[in-house]
Chain A
Amino acid sequence: MNEPFDDLRRYADDLASEVSPSTAQRAVRAGMSSPTRRPRKALVALLATGLLGVSNVALAATADSSAPGDALYGVDRAYEQVVDLTGLGGPRVSERLQETGVLVERGDLGAALELVQETLGKVLESDDPDTELQTLVAELEGAPGAVSELVLNDLVTVAHSVGHTDATGQDVAELARRLGQRLSEERSNRPDDVGPDNDNPNTGPDNNSGNNEPGPPDESPSDGAPGPGNPNRGGNQP
């Protein structure tokens, strides 16, 4: 029975054909000229930030420590958007990783993975993705192992699917490889993971392959189910 799928394709075609060429033209023009429009947007945003800052410093400070699911998280992200318009924002790697850690602690792995994917997406779309990627990996030094695992999963996905042929594209794969290696070493060195005598680092419960290459991307993030690349697969629970 192909009827529903034919109908689905016709529906999609009709939705696409409803978009007027002038709307598409406007969107493309705006997208391609966005860097030059920044100064005016930045000025408006700076004024708005100033006003908001004066009147709502306490609220902003409280919201800043919130994580997805908290009542003030929307306020936190709204402030960030205003600051982003000034061009002073960026992917906020450190803050997102902290929030990911909170979500992992709460056991909401689906939301944690979504946040990691969003953050990495922003890193790769930022004006200086190479530096931002390096920052991301550096910030992971102090992050819980589970957060690093989530980032590694997404880095591997990105390295496999989106990149390019020059040195920067190879950097993603290289970062994923180095991060995988570091995580593997950290796991091996953790006394809890390797048993009481700590003689054989490859006998730990989480050292499932013994190789340092990052594994394949993990399965569905929405159900938070443990998988081979998921944070709760071994002794890495925060």
Chain B
Amino acid sequence: MTGESGSRTGASGWPPSRQHIESARIGDNDALGAILFKGFPRLVAFYRGMGLSAADSEELASEAIEGMVKSIRRLREPDAFEGWFWTIARNRLRSRIRRKGRVERELEYGPVDDPESIVLIREEHHTIRAALAHLSARDREILWLREVEQLTHEEVAARLTMRPGAVRVAALRARRRLEEFYAAETATEAVEP
């Protein structure tokens, strides 16, 4: 399914093509800038999906971009791009949580604090947000990387320092939990006036 960056590049230009990644890897700054420009919104979405505010997410995504610029030369090959990208993204999240004196597993699901996005996010995505809020930070992360970013079990395992088999089981459980909470939220909304 995945694992080869660029093999499933869609209309959104993400993930980037192998050719773009290879150019960036060998020092083409324009290619790197174009890739990170496309990646920045994915990072912000990921951090917001993990429960951070819009402002915090943008700040953290900017830090991650800076880290990626510094470490692009450590990317082994184009196929390793998504692993590299999400490893840095996750490291930044961990550092942020630690700086705030909290542990990752206690990350709370934050409020929608961005006025201009309230209508869209609150109304159209109320159910999924409510269901996500019930999940642990780890379940949220596994689901996001698997279902949204479509990383393989092996890629997720490398990010979370787990075995692929353990990720498979955890992803299955997280999916079930999300389905249950989603159904419960849908039922609650149906009976509410």
Contacts and interface: CB of A to CB of B under 8 A. Distances in A.
A8 B41 contact: no
Contacts, number: 198
Interface string B43-61: 0111011000010001001
Interface residues of B, number: 77
Residue from the set A21, A23, A168, A222 with the largest chain B CB neighbour count within 10 Å: A222
A164 B75 contact: yes
Given A1-B179, A216-B163, A77 B125 contact: no
Given A4-B178, A118-B91, A24 B41 contact: yes
Contact of B161 (A9, A11, A30, A154): A154
A8 B33 contact: no
A11 to B, nearest CB: 5
A217 B99 contact: no
Classify the interface of chain B: helix, strand, loop or mixed: helix
A10 B48 CA distance: 14
A175 interface: no
Contact of B76 (A1, A164, A220): A164
Classify the interface of chain A: helix, strand, loop or mixed: helix
Given A163-B76, A217-B158, A222 B40 contact: no
Interface of B: 25, 29, 32-33, 36-37, 40-42, 44-46, 48-49, 54, 58, 61-62, 65-71, 73-77, 80, 83-84, 87-88, 91, 94-95, 98-101, 103-105, 114, 116-117, 120-121, 124-125, 127-129, 131-132, 138, 143-144, 147-148, 155, 157-163, 166, 170, 175, 178-179, 182-183
14 contacts: A3-B182, A9-B148, A16-B41, A19-B40, A19-B45, A27-B65, A32-B33, A34-B69, A154-B161, A160-B158, A165-B76, A219-B161, A219-B166, A220-B162
Interface of A: 1, 3-5, 7-19, 21, 23-25, 27-32, 34, 68, 73-74, 77-78, 81, 110-111, 113-115, 117-118, 121-122, 124-127, 129, 153-154, 157, 160-165, 168-169, 216-222
Q: Which 7 A-B pairs have CB atoms at the shortest separation, nearest pair first? A: A121-B91, A15-B45, A31-B65, A16-B41, A4-B182, A161-B158, A24-B40
